Amino acid sequence: MNQEMLDRMIGAAPPSTVDVDEVIGRTRRRQRFRRAATGGVAAAVAAFAVLVAVNLAGRPPRPVPVVQVPAAPSASSGPLIEVDTPAGRARTLARLGTVLEAAVESHAPGTRWIYMPDVPGEKRLPDGHPAMWVTEDPVSFQARSGITGGGRKGGFYLSLRAAGCAAMTSCSPLYECDGTVPVCESTRISSGLTLVHYVDKPGKSRVFYGTDVELRGGKYALRMLAVNYFGGDGAPAVAPVPVLTRDQLDAVAAEVAERFSD
């Protein structure tokens, strides 16, 4: 097998839809936004004050989730996120799984993890725990699972990875509220962490609830998504809304983020 043979089998490609100018423009806007977000602390504080004032004067703000965070592990237990060795990554993944399951049990009682298929032919995993794994570029900790509760089921996704875009690695900065989704709110929760909550309805009755939390120190970001469909590519919506409510997702994300903030 070689390039020539594969090219012959692919045949002629349709015209490209990649618009390099558009990609460059979008990337520039994102870079400007990030620079403004990280450099303009005073502006951000002012904007936050304006947002609070608008909320107080207008519609009542959505209540910020009150999270009862259990005592964090002692400092002597070492760093919570270990990325340098396979053993450290395995420990981190195990800790993340434990904390995630405890948080969901605490904030969304009555829900249960169930196996959710992704691609045809994959090995079926047992119910009861989310599927979890570690990826490279850079190291990130991931989870995906089906979840049931309240007589319906849906999907759940988690990633814990570098928040900053440094030295040729992919990254996961907090979701940017750029007006493209129906709901997007950035707030500071009681523990002082920044939480971005967003809702997207991309069509086909699909509903995504997303919560991003930047961990203390700003080095890592936690992302959780609750979706109202179940399965891999192109799976249809199976319920009007995800199993976890928006507040439950926020509370779970806030607790996990707090437990993983050094």
Residues that bind another protein (CB under 8 A): 1-3, 6-18, 20, 23-24, 26-27, 31, 118-119, 121, 135-137, 142, 144, 155, 157, 165, 167-168, 170, 200, 202-204, 206, 208, 225, 227, 229, 232-234, 236
CB 228 within 8 A of CB 241: yes
CB of 229 to another protein, least distance (A): 8
Nearer to another protein, 26 or 188 (CB): 26
Task: Enumerate residues 6+ apart whose C-beta is below 8 A from 120.
Answer: none
Nearer to another protein, 118 or 127 (CB): 118
CB of 216 to another protein, least distance (A): 25
How many residues are present in the chain? 262
CB of 233 to another protein, least distance (A): 5
CB of 207 to another protein, least distance (A): 11
CB of 31 to another protein, least distance (A): 7
CB of 246 to another protein, least distance (A): 16
Nearer to another protein, 189 or 213 (CB): 213
Q: Which class for 67: exposed (0-12), middle (13-18), buried (19 or more C-beta within 10 A)?
A: buried
The C-alpha atoms of residue 176 and residue 192 are separated, in whole angstroms, by 19
The C-alpha atoms of residue 163 and residue 167 are separated, in whole angstroms, by 12
Nearer to another protein, 51 or 138 (CB): 138
What's the token pair of residue 195? 């939480």
Nearer to another protein, 84 or 233 (CB): 233
> Which residue in 170, 211, 166 sits closest to 193, CA to CA?
211
Nearer to another protein, 12 or 71 (CB): 12
What's the token pair of residue 191? 């523990």
Q: Which class for 183: exposed (0-12), middle (13-18), buried (19 or more C-beta within 10 A)?
A: middle
